[in-house]
Amino acid sequence: MAKKTKARTIGVLDFQKMFPNEETAVAYFEAIRWGSTPTCPRCHKSEKIHAGQKPYQRWCGRCRKYFSAKTGTVMEASNKPIQMWLLAMYFLVTARKGISSLQLSKELSTSQPTAWFILHRIREACGSELEALSGQVELDETYLGGKDKNRHESKKKNVGRGTAGKQAVFGMRERGGATKAMPVEQTNRATLLPMICGTVEPGSTLYTDDHGAYRDVEGLGYDHHVVNHSAKQYVDGMAHTNSVESVWAVLKRGFYGTYHNWSMKHTHRYVNEFTFRLNDGDVQRDTVDRIASLSQALCGKRIRYRELVA
């Protein structure tokens, strides 16, 4: 069996040497986005493109509008340099348990609200679609949120014990492959089965715990193996959910340790961040390759501040 080659991980000083100024950062991002031929993000044509009036700006003779490498990306309308955005992406992909907006603001020498906005826009890009999962796939669900008794009186939900008042997250992890996870309103059959069918290829082998929502998956074209967690059974031959449960372990370390809680309306973006690191953090992938993947994911997406705070 061929031995895995270890990825080249670069430190922050080496990363800053790669992009010592805005010119090198813009050239890098333009090459990632367009290659050697700048293309208008509006009409998607590369003819009649001329230099604009401002640095790093271009003019499209067809649309008769200005554009830059930021146009049509999550960076659009940002007055922060691409050099800063690349450094923020570096910290996000290399911090296994995430980086808080307060810490990032110190690293970037900017304000905490600005760092918060940058991080959420990058997380929005982390939600790119993946190919369907196949082969051996583990399914599981977890819950995020503190105990009601620990909340301030004005924030108590008074909804009982256990998982009540917490945010459910459903995850699917292909053994040796990609992970998909997302927040869900319920963890019942009506919610989970359509998500499984829309994500996992028929004929795949599914490994789950004894949660009742999974009982009918075999009739949907899957080979189903169960470990009975209720009876303290966690491994039964090849049947276990250890891989997807390791995703929850990292997610919860970030939730409680790095972010110290987050607004539940943003859970899908935080989950996107963690799954991106898992999917793009293979030991055979260099740090610069992971930055390149995230840079490509920035294109074609945009989220405004008013959408985040609404």
Residue 157 scores a pLDDT above 60: no
Better pLDDT: 298 or 128: 298
The pLDDT, as a whole number, for residue 156 is 45
Residue 45 confidence class, pLDDT cut points 50, 70, 90: very high
Average pLDDT of the residues in 25-32: 98
Domains of the chain by residue range = 14-125+287-309, 136-261
Angle between helices 112-125 and 267-280 (to 10 degrees): 60
The pLDDT, as a whole number, for residue 131 is 87
Better pLDDT: 265 or 147: 265
Residue 170 scores a pLDDT above 60: yes
CATH number for the domain whose boundaries are 136-261: 3.30.420
Average pLDDT of the residues in 269-282: 88
Residue 282 confidence class, pLDDT cut points 50, 70, 90: low
Average pLDDT of the residues in 48-75: 96
Give this prediction's pTM.
Answer: 0.88
Name the one residue in this structure whose structure tokens are 């100024």. Answer: 21
The pLDDT, as a whole number, for residue 281 is 64
pLDDT digits (tens, 9 = 90+) for 208-243: 999 999 999 999 999 999 987 554 545 555 677 889
Mean of the per-residue pLDDT values of the chain: 89
The pLDDT, as a whole number, for residue 241 is 87
How is residue 149 annotated by DSSP? G
Instruction: Name the residue type at position 218.
Output: E
Average pLDDT of the residues in 136-151: 78
CA atoms of 61 and 71, how far apart (whole Å) = 16
pLDDT digits (tens, 9 = 90+) for 94-132: 999 999 999 999 999 999 999 999 999 999 999 877 889
Would you state the structure tokens that stand for residue 33, as one six-digit string?
Answer: 């986005």
Q: Please name which of 182, 88, 126, 40 lies closest in space to residue 301, comparing C-alpha atoms.
A: 126
pLDDT digits (tens, 9 = 90+) for 9-22: 899 999 999 999 99
HSE value, Cβ hemisphere, 13 Å, CA-based, for 158 = 3
